[in-house]
Structure 1
């Protein structure tokens, strides 16, 4: 079979189904990546969300024994929001990162990969294919880099010449022996803006990330957030865009190519106080289609409380006291008590002291003590 012609047909078809960039590479092991991942593990830099087996992450043959090639795809997403609502002193808002705008990208990329699979199967019925997006074993960035989608930036994102780093990535392993594409030369050079701008110093050096310090990771954790990171969170509810927004390669890059990736301004920049009393059902109905909802409402609500502390929003005091008294989750009760201390509304002190007497959870009590100490220090 003429695989060169098939490759051209796949490229043309990919444009018709809404794939913005496509590249091809061999299915040989990712040797350099293997060493980097080993160092990441040794240093404790991994988040725990990724595949833990380094062999599976770096050897495509373990996932598809007859693998010959990998097809990498990229879909561009918007970086600017039209008609963004304003945050006000009495009605502050939080923000979801750009990668969580619109419909969950896992669904969007799986749709494109599924269509691509069908197309290839029609052309080559005996083809074997295995697609994955983000949660698969392979490292998306390593595949995209080798397939010429873009280069791996110092901000640990794939940067494309056309769309900057505002792209979602997916890949498909196959037994078809396609000619590999050329990788793109790294254009970061001496620029270190992302490393310097990282709020928590999570970018250890260009291209190396300590996930446990990364705000994007921290916003997805479910427990108490370390106090050193609470002040860095700002009004972020999910994810962090700092290392992308400071990147010179992203300047002027804003693509609105896919209707399902367009943000609903009221959802991605929501009012903070209503988030705190939202039921599971309401949260699922409103936010269930977004990738930022995958961990449930608890991390989002905890982050919203920290954002209210960031704004020192005194109008939030009644709802925070209500949470401390009635919410069944220690993380929410404790974080709300700490937030009251940061907000500094003295009238909340007597009730907070009374509520601490009834608190049974030791971690929540510790946060209440912090809140009370902060309030007393300002009196």
Structure 2
């Protein structure tokens, strides 16, 4: 039986606003070399993720016996926000306002079912260690890599989530046209990064990256903690300034504003660790330990108005190895 075309698979995901692209299932030699370089130079910190097993994550041709095609899916995630609420408030990155990876898993699951009905085998990887999704999207002609190291999709910008399906079906599609590297002389993301994590264009130093530290077990250095600003997870600074987001944002500003990006710091600090982890099950939290989310809330509290810092006092006076240092920093005049 012949395999469906990419256009036929695209029709299965149109309702979610997902865009599909395809490329041959072949080794990601450049991505594998880049991962090795970052690890060797100590720029990967203690992360594992796709660098844990590059012989898997950079080799889609091994994901399914007889793999023929990598189908990449991108989903826009930018939504307008409501006005900042009063009181002690922190922010989540835009990709965490909803569950875009859940949407991608469901949509690609439908694609997999369609292929299975035609007798083809497939595997879906979304936000997983098993596949370098950004490289798949780049090879499919959907994105290019910016100086921020973010995947930039012309017409959609950087506020996207990416998922992948690898199949033994030879999906008919137009050969992807290479996307022109479009950063030119622009250095807005490099200049805006609060901790200098992007000082080398096209290379991220995880040891200086706010997003990495919000997800780390390690005690956050003071210089990085200051760079958190009011973020309690992740960081959007390099995306907020990217010119490729101007058009996509302008086209989505008429959508209904959401308050999903705002979190009450006092509510986070009062909640049980189990409740926090359960409420944000879609996020990576080290050891599923809600203290790390509370630590981030304390850091954001310490970066905010002085009148809210009394909320940190109980943690500053405690001996908890995760919350104590963050509580004492938040209680100390900056």
- Give TM-score, length-normalised by structure 1: 0.79
**Of the candidates 71, 88, 91, which is equivalent to residue 92 of structure 1?**
88
What's 1:348 paired with? none
Q: Is contact 2:230–2:300 with CA below 8 Å preserved after alignment? A: yes
What's 1:322 paired with? 314
**Of the candidates 122, 140, 163, which is equivalent to residue 170 of structure 1?**
163
**Of the candidates 332, 336, 344, which is equivalent to residue 323 of structure 2?**
332
What's 1:356 paired with? none
What's 2:18 paired with? 20
What's 2:179 paired with? 184
What's 2:121 paired with? 128
**Of the candidates 227, 233, 249, which is equivalent to residue 228 of structure 2?**
233
Question: 5+ unaligned residues in a row in structure 2: which ranges?
Answer: none
Note closer, same or farther for the CA distance 1:199–1:119 as it changes in structure 2 (3 Å cut): same
Mapped partners of 2:307, 2:326: distance in 1: 16
Pairing of 1:223-372 with structure 2 (within 5 A): 223-254=218-249, 265=259, 267-284=260-277, 287-291=279-283, 295-317=288-310, 319-326=311-318, 329-342=320-333
- Post-superposition Cα deviations, 1:151-201, rounded to whole Å, max 9, x if no partner, equal 111111111122111110001111112344223222112212112211111
- Post-superposition Cα deviations, 1:289-335, rounded to whole Å, max 9, x if no partner, equal 54366754222211211222212423432x32322445x62221222
Q: Is contact 1:154–1:195 with CA below 8 Å preserved after alignment? A: yes
Which 10-residue stretch deviates more, 46-55 or 139-148? 46-55
Deviation at 1:2, TM superposition (A): 4.6
Q: Is contact 1:312–1:342 with CA below 8 Å preserved after alignment? A: no
What's 1:215 paired with? 210
Which structure is higher in helix share? Answer: 1
- Post-superposition Cα deviations, 1:227-253, rounded to whole Å, max 9, x if no partner, equal 121111111100111110111111142
Note closer, same or farther for the CA distance 1:337–1:226 as it changes in structure 2 (3 Å cut): same
Deviation at 1:27, TM superposition (A): 0.6
What's the secondary structure of 1:94's corresponding residue?
A: strand
Mapped partners of 2:236, 2:6: distance in 1: 35
Deviation at 1:110, TM superposition (A): 0.8
Q: Is contact 1:19–1:73 with CA below 8 Å preserved after alignment? A: no
Mapped partners of 1:337, 1:70: distance in 2: 49
Note closer, same or farther for the CA distance 1:316–1:228 as it changes in structure 2 (3 Å cut): closer
Q: Is contact 1:93–1:272 with CA below 8 Å preserved after alignment? A: yes
Mapped partners of 2:54, 2:162: distance in 1: 20
Q: Is contact 1:131–1:171 with CA below 8 Å preserved after alignment? A: yes
Q: Is contact 1:200–1:214 with CA below 8 Å preserved after alignment? A: yes
**Of the candidates 17, 36, 39, which is equivalent to residue 37 of structure 2?**
39
- Post-superposition Cα deviations, 1:27-68, rounded to whole Å, max 9, x if no partner, equal 111111122111111111114141312221211133223111
What's 2:102 paired with? 107
**Of the candidates 191, 196, 203, which is equivalent to residue 196 of structure 1?**
191
Mapped partners of 1:297, 1:80: distance in 2: 28
Query: What is the count of residue pairs matched by the alignment?
Result: 327
Question: 5+ unaligned residues in a row in structure 1: which ranges?
Answer: 344-379
- Structure 1 or 2, whichever has the larger Rg, is 1
What's 2:62 paired with? 62
Q: Is contact 1:22–1:73 with CA below 8 Å preserved after alignment? A: yes
Mapped partners of 1:181, 1:2: distance in 2: 21
CA RMSD of aligned residues (A): 2.4
